[in-house]
Amino acid sequence: MTTTPTIEHPEAWRLLLSFDDAALQYAAFIPDHKGSLMAATLPLPDEMAPLAGIEEQVYRHDTLLPLTYGTTDVLLRAKRFLLLPEAEVAEAETQWHDVYAEVEGELLCLPVASCGIMAVADVPRGVKGFVERTWQGATLHFHLEPLLNLARQTLRPESHRSLWCVVGEQWLDLAVFYGNELQMANSIAYSDPSEPLYYMMSVWKSYELDQRGDTLRLLGATQELATELRRFVAFTLTDTLPEHLLSMGSAADNVSPLLMLLAL
């Protein structure tokens, strides 16, 4: 049996949250306090709509409600999205309807400042309002923002072209960079473990990346998948979370690397 630690001085904590249709993930820690991390993935009830499932997990979980006065960042995964230059955000709704026709949930414009773009994301209706009511001053983030920020912090204009991938249990998140300039970013749902390899190689070929000169960067991939990819791409690098994030505690393994990268 596990017990939830008593949270004293909740204003000193930082809370990271991630919502999608299937699960709520959280990571809570005191900045610069090694070993303070608490993190978990909480499945949403199948019989509930996403917002109702999120509310159910939040209100029944002892860790989340006490942390309403600290710093909170929320990662919103969108099944459908557009990436637009910041200058075109005024036309976001028009461009959305040109591509997708309708909005299934609620359309949000979320900045990815490191790349100078705006993500126009279709997220479950009501989630934004629920977050704002529950966690004062919470900041909403597009789900690919942590990956794009990490790449931009790492790359230089003279860097080789590269494909960055986060391999989750149900989603493959990808971004292609030429030097340090973003060329594309996408998220692909999958159900068969063999699919990420196929999708990565398809993107690699589509953007004419060099198997001997360009770089494939992986987060969350199994050793088996990384070994298989090295048959096709010489410079396949398996990345881990930055050391100062790992030092907060082994509970980081319980959530997606994308969520932990929000702490950077």
Digit-by-digit pLDDT tens for the chain (264 residues) are: 344 556 778 889 999 999 988 899 999 999 988 889 999 999 999 999 999 999 999 998 888 888 888 899 999 999 999 999 999 989 999 999 999 999 999 999 999 999 999 999 999 999 999 999 999 899 999 999 999 999 999 999 999 999 999 999 899 999 999 999 999 999 999 999 999 999 999 999 999 999 999 999 999 999 999 999 999 999 999 988 888 888 888 899 999 999 999 998
Specify the pLDDT at position 3.
44
Q: Which two tokens stand for residue 117?
A: 């773009």
Q: Which two tokens stand for residue 30?
A: 């005191």
Considering the four listed CATH numbers 3.40.50.11890, 3.40.50.2300, 3.30.420.250, 3.30.420.40, the one that applies to the domain covering 1-143 is: 3.30.420.250
Specify the pLDDT at position 1.
35
Specify the pLDDT at position 79.
92
What gap in Å lies between CA 109 and CA 97, rounded to an integer?
A: 14
Asked, colleague to colleague, whether 1-143 and 147-238 share their fold, the answer is yes
What gap in Å lies between CA 41 and CA 259, rounded to an integer?
A: 11
CATH T-level topology, domain 147-238: Nucleotidyltransferase; domain 5 (3.30.420)
Q: Per-domain residue ranges for the chain?
A: 1-143, 147-238
Specify the pLDDT at position 2.
40
Spell out the residues 6+ positions from residue 64 whose beta carbon is closer than 8 angstroms to its own.
15, 17, 26, 28, 57, 58
On whether the CB atoms of residues 199 and 174 are closer than 8 A, the answer is yes
Spell out the residues 6+ positions from residue 135 whose beta carbon is closer than 8 angstroms to its own.
15, 17, 67, 68, 72, 74
Specify the pLDDT at position 6.
65
Specify the pLDDT at position 246.
82
Residue 60, SS3?
A: helix
What gap in Å lies between CA 191 and CA 57, rounded to an integer?
A: 25
Looking up tokens 């995964």 gives 77
What gap in Å lies between CA 203 and CA 193, rounded to an integer?
A: 17
